Chains A and B, each alone.
Chain A
């Protein structure tokens, strides 16, 4: 697991799977990213990737929440943020329906997205795959659905002041 390696700091956020929490998660992620030395462009890409991963969970894994599922211990969106010396790993975990893995299979290209006749889908997963350097997900009844995203620090981008 990415977080077991040497790390500067780690945060473990456990949130209700509601869209109201997205801005709060973004604020935390961007603050950690800047403090870990990522520049504004990389921070922006990490921010939107985490937002998309969390939105996928809220929309697909926990569709209908809180109807019939009010126990926050069972219904949670968990975000682990682990900045390390050369990269940052963000893990998004849910215990919802395992459709979030299905939802992760997004579009392959922008052309595919545009060609959709009505509502547009799959852009969130496309963004994650474009902006993060490594993306892995797995799902089991024991672990829930786990999405790990890694962004390596580039030496060329200007770091935040």
Chain B
């Protein structure tokens, strides 16, 4: 298994939002790749993202910071980021630090789509 993978899928909603799957771990080593991918995607017009993090096994402050920066950037541009199905370990870290009140979290794809307004 690769330490980090970011897969872009074709969501059921067509081009109304971009569905991504994040696998592996998001730390100081892998965060640059994630940020570069997201920068390119936003420059190409992406504004609404459903990020499946169910197979994200670990996140550090570097990863949380990247998600925070991404969330704030997208909201400034009338976009949104929804994290789909964080696993128990990642959820508990986010919850303990207070980020579950900041990030938008969805437990089903349908719920995520509603949060994205599509």
Contact = CB atoms under 8 A, between A and B. Distances in A.
Q: Do A and B come from one complex?
A: yes
A110 interface: yes
Interface stretch (A52-60, A62-70, A80-88, A143-151): A52-60
Interface in B53-107: 58, 60-62, 64-65, 68-69, 89, 92-93, 96-99, 102
A123 B28 contact: no
Interface residues on A, range: 20 to 34
Given A23-B25, A51-B27, A55-B27, A120 B97 contact: no
24 contacts: A19-B29, A22-B28, A22-B29, A22-B60, A23-B3, A23-B25, A23-B29, A26-B58, A40-B89, A41-B92, A44-B92, A44-B93, A47-B58, A48-B61, A48-B93, A55-B61, A110-B99, A114-B68, A119-B65, A120-B68, A120-B69, A123-B61, A124-B60, A130-B97
B68 A19 contact: no
A10 interface: no
A102 interface: no
Contacts of A41: 92
Given A22-B28, A51-B60, A120 B65 contact: yes
Interface residues of B, number: 21
Nearest to B25: A23
Contacts of A48: 58, 60-61, 93
A123 to B, nearest CB: 4
Interface in B20-50: 25, 27-29
A76 B60 CA distance: 22
Given A48-B93, A123-B65, A124-B60, A55 B28 contact: yes
A123 B60 CA distance: 9
Given A59-B28, A127-B61, 9 more contacts: A19-B27, A22-B27, A23-B3, A41-B92, A44-B93, A45-B96, A52-B61, A119-B65, A126-B61
Contacts of B64: 123
A71 interface: no
B106 to A, nearest CB: 21
A127 B68 CA distance: 15
A123 B28 CA distance: 13
A58 B98 contact: no
A119 B31 CA distance: 14
Contacts of B89: 40, 44
Given A44-B93, A119-B69, A130-B96, A124 B27 contact: no
Contacts of A110: 97-99
